[in-house]
Amino acid sequence: MKTTVAVSGVLVQGRSVLLAGKRGPSGILWAPPGGRVEPGESLAEALKREFIEETTLAVAVGRPLGVVEVGTGDEQFLIYDFCVTPEASSGELRYVPGDDVDQLRMCDAREVENLALAPGVTSFFRVILRSAITAAEGI
Protein backbone atom coordinates (compact mmCIF):
# COMPACT_ATOMS: atom_id res chain seq x y z
CA MET A 1 0.00 0.00 0.00
CA LYS A 2 1.34 3.42 -0.97
CA THR A 3 1.50 6.08 1.78
CA THR A 4 1.10 9.73 0.80
CA VAL A 5 1.93 12.57 3.18
CA ALA A 6 -0.49 15.49 3.05
CA VAL A 7 -1.29 18.63 5.06
CA SER A 8 -4.37 20.63 5.92
CA GLY A 9 -4.81 24.02 7.54
CA VAL A 10 -7.53 24.98 9.97
CA LEU A 11 -8.20 28.72 9.74
CA VAL A 12 -10.50 29.94 12.50
CA GLN A 13 -12.14 33.36 12.76
CA GLY A 14 -14.28 33.83 15.83
CA ARG A 15 -16.15 30.56 16.15
CA SER A 16 -16.06 29.69 12.44
CA VAL A 17 -13.62 27.69 10.35
CA LEU A 18 -12.75 27.98 6.65
CA LEU A 19 -13.69 24.90 4.59
CA ALA A 20 -13.00 24.11 0.95
CA GLY A 21 -15.65 22.31 -1.07
CA LYS A 22 -14.61 19.93 -3.84
CA ARG A 23 -17.16 18.37 -6.16
CA GLY A 24 -17.26 14.57 -6.04
CA PRO A 25 -19.55 11.94 -7.61
CA SER A 26 -22.13 12.39 -4.84
CA GLY A 27 -21.92 16.18 -4.50
CA ILE A 28 -19.62 18.60 -2.73
CA LEU A 29 -17.39 17.24 0.04
CA TRP A 30 -15.96 19.68 2.57
CA ALA A 31 -12.56 19.71 4.29
CA PRO A 32 -10.00 22.22 5.48
CA PRO A 33 -7.79 23.48 2.62
CA GLY A 34 -4.72 21.34 2.01
CA GLY A 35 -3.19 18.61 -0.12
CA ARG A 36 -0.16 16.46 -0.89
CA VAL A 37 3.36 17.34 0.19
CA GLU A 38 5.62 17.55 -2.88
CA PRO A 39 9.14 16.03 -2.84
CA GLY A 40 11.60 18.35 -1.09
CA GLU A 41 8.89 20.43 0.61
CA SER A 42 8.56 20.83 4.35
CA LEU A 43 5.09 20.40 5.83
CA ALA A 44 4.84 24.18 6.35
CA GLU A 45 5.93 24.95 2.77
CA ALA A 46 3.39 22.49 1.39
CA LEU A 47 0.59 23.94 3.50
CA LYS A 48 1.38 27.52 2.46
CA ARG A 49 1.43 26.45 -1.22
CA GLU A 50 -1.79 24.46 -0.96
CA PHE A 51 -3.56 27.30 0.85
CA ILE A 52 -2.65 29.75 -1.92
CA GLU A 53 -3.68 27.25 -4.62
CA GLU A 54 -7.05 26.53 -2.99
CA THR A 55 -7.96 29.87 -1.40
CA THR A 56 -5.62 32.53 -2.91
CA LEU A 57 -4.81 33.40 0.73
CA ALA A 58 -1.27 33.56 2.17
CA VAL A 59 -1.10 32.06 5.66
CA ALA A 60 1.31 31.62 8.55
CA VAL A 61 1.50 28.05 9.83
CA GLY A 62 0.90 27.68 13.57
CA ARG A 63 0.74 24.83 16.03
CA PRO A 64 0.06 21.23 14.98
CA LEU A 65 -3.41 19.87 15.75
CA GLY A 66 -2.89 16.20 14.98
CA VAL A 67 -2.40 13.58 12.29
CA VAL A 68 -5.20 11.76 10.49
CA GLU A 69 -4.76 8.42 8.69
CA VAL A 70 -7.14 7.90 5.81
CA GLY A 71 -7.13 4.80 3.60
CA THR A 72 -8.59 4.89 0.11
CA GLY A 73 -8.16 1.64 -1.79
CA ASP A 74 -4.46 1.03 -2.45
CA GLU A 75 -3.39 4.39 -1.04
CA GLN A 76 -3.10 5.57 2.55
CA PHE A 77 -2.86 9.26 3.43
CA LEU A 78 -1.15 10.68 6.52
CA ILE A 79 -2.66 14.15 6.87
CA TYR A 80 -0.87 16.56 9.20
CA ASP A 81 -3.30 19.20 10.46
CA PHE A 82 -2.14 22.66 11.60
CA CYS A 83 -3.70 25.88 12.82
CA VAL A 84 -3.10 28.65 10.28
CA THR A 85 -3.62 32.41 10.40
CA PRO A 86 -3.85 34.87 7.52
CA GLU A 87 -0.64 36.78 6.89
CA ALA A 88 -0.75 40.52 7.53
CA SER A 89 -3.70 42.02 5.73
CA SER A 90 -5.09 45.48 5.42
CA GLY A 91 -8.84 45.32 5.63
CA GLU A 92 -11.38 42.54 5.53
CA LEU A 93 -10.34 39.07 4.40
CA ARG A 94 -11.84 37.85 1.16
CA TYR A 95 -12.06 34.14 0.54
CA VAL A 96 -11.75 33.40 -3.17
CA PRO A 97 -11.73 29.78 -4.38
CA GLY A 98 -8.54 28.90 -6.23
CA ASP A 99 -8.17 26.49 -9.13
CA ASP A 100 -8.37 23.35 -6.97
CA VAL A 101 -11.72 23.92 -5.22
CA ASP A 102 -15.30 24.68 -6.20
CA GLN A 103 -16.38 26.66 -3.11
CA LEU A 104 -15.03 28.20 0.08
CA ARG A 105 -17.15 28.73 3.15
CA MET A 106 -16.78 29.94 6.74
CA CYS A 107 -18.76 27.52 8.95
CA ASP A 108 -19.50 27.42 12.65
CA ALA A 109 -19.48 24.11 14.55
CA ARG A 110 -23.24 23.65 14.05
CA GLU A 111 -22.95 24.08 10.27
CA VAL A 112 -20.03 21.63 10.13
CA GLU A 113 -22.25 18.96 11.75
CA ASN A 114 -24.61 19.20 8.76
CA LEU A 115 -22.05 19.24 5.93
CA ALA A 116 -20.88 16.28 3.88
CA LEU A 117 -17.26 16.04 5.00
CA ALA A 118 -14.54 14.20 3.09
CA PRO A 119 -14.48 10.44 3.87
CA GLY A 120 -12.36 9.20 6.73
CA VAL A 121 -11.89 12.54 8.48
CA THR A 122 -15.38 13.26 9.75
CA SER A 123 -15.15 12.45 13.46
CA PHE A 124 -11.50 13.44 13.87
CA PHE A 125 -12.06 16.72 12.02
CA ARG A 126 -14.84 17.64 14.41
CA VAL A 127 -12.37 17.15 17.30
CA ILE A 128 -9.76 19.23 15.45
CA LEU A 129 -12.33 21.97 14.80
CA ARG A 130 -13.18 22.23 18.49
CA SER A 131 -9.46 22.26 19.37
CA ALA A 132 -8.70 24.96 16.79
CA ILE A 133 -11.57 27.20 17.91
CA THR A 134 -10.46 26.81 21.52
CA ALA A 135 -6.85 27.68 20.56
CA ALA A 136 -7.98 30.71 18.53
CA GLU A 137 -9.98 31.98 21.50
CA GLY A 138 -6.95 31.55 23.76
CA ILE A 139 -8.77 29.19 26.13
Between the alpha carbon of residue 39 and those of residues 4, 6, 25, 35, 36, the distances in Å are: 11, 11, 29, 13, 10
pLDDT digits (tens, 9 = 90+) for 27-53: 898 889 999 999 999 999 999 999 999
* pTM (whole model) above 0.75: yes
Percent of the chain with pLDDT over 90: 38
Alpha-carbon distances of 35 from 8, 111, 113, rounded to whole Å: 6, 23, 22
Residue type (1 letter), 44: A
CATH class given for the domain over 2-136: alpha beta
At residue 65, does pLDDT exceed 90?
A: no
- What are the beta bridge partners of residue 61? 84
How far is it, in rounded angstroms, from Cα 55 to Cα 77? Answer: 22
Question: Does the pLDDT at position 111 exceed 50?
Answer: yes
